[in-house]
Structure 1
Amino acid sequence: MSTKNHVDHIFRRSLLLSKLFTKSWGAPKTLERLLYFRQNFIGQGRINELIENKKPIMVITKEWNRKDITYMEGNFISPLFEWCPQLFPAGVEKCYWRGLFPHSSKKRNGLVIHLAGTGDHTFFRREYGFANDLLKEGYSAILIENPYYGTRKPKQQFSSSLLNVSDLFVMGAAIIGECNFILRWAKESGHWPLGISGVSMAASNVHDPIALVPCLSWTTAAPVYTEGALSDAIQWKNLGKELSSKHFRDAISQIKDCDWLEQLQDKESFDRQTEDSKRFMWILMEEFTNLNKYPVPFEPSLVKAVIAEEVCSFT
């Protein structure tokens, strides 16, 4: 096994205890709503219009002090749920977060939202791996619990194993709305400057100059789910069966401003040996995760990407 494949397999096993997307691509109506939302709102930098129209209520549930740090926990209903509740399984719609702030407001130099990586269901890893050291420099932290993770995990879902491909896109769209609402709340509460670490799409709809530190990210998730670390964990047989059904294809063909099936038939754009299910996965990932589909951050000079220059061998 090559070094690259060896790392891929170790990475996948460390994240997943079972298969991904065991149920379906997602209901065509769900994909239709997500496409409309991507094209007309977050793809146009308009998520804050939805927040203004029906602003969520921030609920602070707990606050305590430990040494020189003030801890706070709260929740609110995801702005995406306010717009389209049909996208959310029961229990996913409420965003839970934990904040860590220097006790003295005079020692607060800024605030960073630390978003969860794949498989991160708790606050522990981000609190001890990122927030604590930044607190020493006076930077507050807010840790968000991702949709479909932790207490926001649907009852039918095992661990990080999303049931539907569309769940991943609901997660991404929801996080964009949730980050924008928290940043607005933080700014109104006197925190500045602001930043986000973890997911680059989350900053695409922010209309203020904020810092952004995407970690080991890429411009699209398409290669990861079709060729990389997570591809072997996907239930390609089940997805291929659904994709081949006339009922599913007819429903997809009815989606307005959607050319996914036309792209699927364009064999020259893909390796001729690649099965339809992997081609369709690539098409959907390009549609919903490619950064070219989203606005450029308000101040690009504040983006500091963390990238991997070498592949390490685990032997």
Structure 2
Amino acid sequence: MVTVNLGMLHYVLDHVYGAFMHRTKISPPFFSRGWGGSKLELLERLIKQLFPEIEGQNWPPSLIQPIWRTIWETQTAVLREGVFRTPCDEQLMSALPPESHNARVAFLAPKCVPPQKMACVVHLAGTGDHTFERRLRLGGPLLKENIATVVLESPFYGQRRPLLQRGAKLLCVSDLLLLGRATIEEARCLLHWLEWEAGFGKMGVCGLSMGGVHAAMVGSLHPTPVATLPFLSPHSAVVAFCEGILKHGTAWEALREELAAKKVAMTLEEVRERMRNVLSLTDVTRFPIPKIPNAVIFVAATDDGYIPKHSVLELQKAWPGSEVRWVTGGHVSSFLLHNGEFRRAIVDGLNRLPWKESPQ
């Protein structure tokens, strides 16, 4: 009788998928055009501003006013798509590719329920999630719980993808930092709009993998209580690109050659160390603890080849009162099979929030 170790199978599946996606010649590796030159230096300065010494720094954010159109409508629900100019300041706007200047969102909401008696969750994109559909499928069943879903299309993804970029493979390291900084600004503005303009009674932010890192940052920086729900997420992009499977899909030689052109000779290990230093800017443990820590629920996989367990536990330790829930599987299998657990975390996180008081 053969005993099958399911945990090992999930872990192997991650590596098989990773080998297919990141070690074949189907598409170029991440950062094939190098570090990003002066853009990287600019972003290193700007991202340091995300670590506020006083919680709620730079609040309120820039105001947005999305322009909406109805995609479909039934007796119980409505789906709209909207567009708004990204609220990034002039420095960030000049660094963003023109294709990313306008943000796109999908908004799925119950009908016949006043917003103050509903919750709304902003869903942020994981690596490679270019469209609205997967996150709308995740949020759809929550309509019966009176929970609306807003899906943000990330810069560099979907219709916001630069012309020269293939798939999710960002061309420069600076693009990764720019994607994150712009996503955080847009998500913060969306939460502000949903809370103060649309009038929702509870708010949340969630995301898978890279989207979970961004969700944690947004939840940390929001000045009022929100449910913060990172799924299959590391505490930092360092883990993803320097420890997990994505390290095999990174153009280390191109990064080293760019430094050599600047008369800086480095070994590959020294190049990886520089990457660690740059991506340490994305370390969520440096961010403030969200307003209601027990409304922070991490969902992590037991046999994740992309995100090691220690990374999840580091963030839980940095945010006392938060909760980690483990699902059996790897990164890929959990992404496909555990939507029910992600939805349960969303519902539970929102249930731990008070309802916003109606204006007098």
Query: 1:243: which partner in 2?
Result: 259
Cα deviation digits, residues 106-147 of structure 1 (max 9, x gap): 48530011111111111111111x111111211000011011
Q: In structure 2, what residue type is equivalent to 1:242?
A: E
Name the TM-score, length of structure 2 as normaliser. Answer: 0.72
Q: In structure 2, what residue type is equivalent to 1:80?
A: C
Describe the shift of the 1:12–1:186 C-alpha distance in structure 2 as closer, same or farther (beyond 3 A): farther
Cα deviation digits, residues 224-278 of structure 1 (max 9, x gap): 212311111111111111123336x6xxxxxxxxxxx9xx9xxxxxxxx862221
Deviation at 1:83, TM superposition (A): 5.1
Query: 1:203: which partner in 2?
Result: 219
Query: 1:289: which partner in 2?
Result: 282
Query: 2:131: which partner in 1?
Result: 122
CA distance, structure 2, for counterparts of residue 95 and residue 37 of structure 1: 20
Deviation at 1:210, TM superposition (A): 0.3
CA RMSD of aligned residues (A): 2.7
Does residue 43 of structure 2 align to residue 34 of structure 1?
Answer: yes
* Structure 2 portions without partners, runs of 5+: 1-7, 305-328, 333-360
Does residue 64 of structure 2 align to residue 56 of structure 1?
Answer: yes
1:81-120 equivalences in 2 (<5 Å): 81-82=89-90, 84-106=92-114, 108-120=117-129
Does residue 166 of structure 2 align to residue 158 of structure 1?
Answer: yes
1:183-198 equivalences in 2 (<5 Å): 183-188=191-196, 189-198=198-207
Deviation at 1:190, TM superposition (A): 1.2
Describe the shift of the 1:77–1:22 C-alpha distance in structure 2 as closer, same or farther (beyond 3 A): same
Deviation at 1:152, TM superposition (A): 0.4
Does residue 293 of structure 2 align to residue 277 of structure 1?
Answer: no
- Structure 1 runs (4+) greater than 3 angstroms displaced: 2-6, 11-17, 41-50, 61-64, 310-314
Give the 3-state SS of the residue equivalent to 1:310 in structure 2: coil
Counterpart selection for 2:31 from 21, 39, 43: 21
Say how many residue pairs are matched.
Answer: 286
Q: In structure 2, what residue type is equivalent to 1:205?
A: L
Deviation at 1:212, TM superposition (A): 0.8
Deviation at 1:37, TM superposition (A): 1.7
Deviation at 1:15, TM superposition (A): 7.8
CA distance, structure 1, for counterparts of residue 120 and residue 229 of structure 2: 13
Name the TM-score, length of structure 1 as normaliser. Answer: 0.82
Q: Structure 1 residues 37-46 or 180-189, which shifts more?
A: 37-46
1:119-268 equivalences in 2 (<5 Å): 119-128=128-137, 130-188=138-196, 189-198=198-207, 199=212, 200-246=216-262
Deviation at 1:24, TM superposition (A): 1.2
Describe the shift of the 1:25–1:83 C-alpha distance in structure 2 as closer, same or farther (beyond 3 A): closer
Q: Structure 1 residues 276-285 or 144-153, which shifts more?
A: 276-285
Task: Note if contact 2:72-2:79 (Cα within 8 Å) is conserved in structure 1.
Answer: yes
- Matched-pair identity in %: 28
Q: Structure 1 residues 302-311 or 178-187, which shifts more?
A: 302-311
Describe the shift of the 1:46–1:169 C-alpha distance in structure 2 as closer, same or farther (beyond 3 A): farther
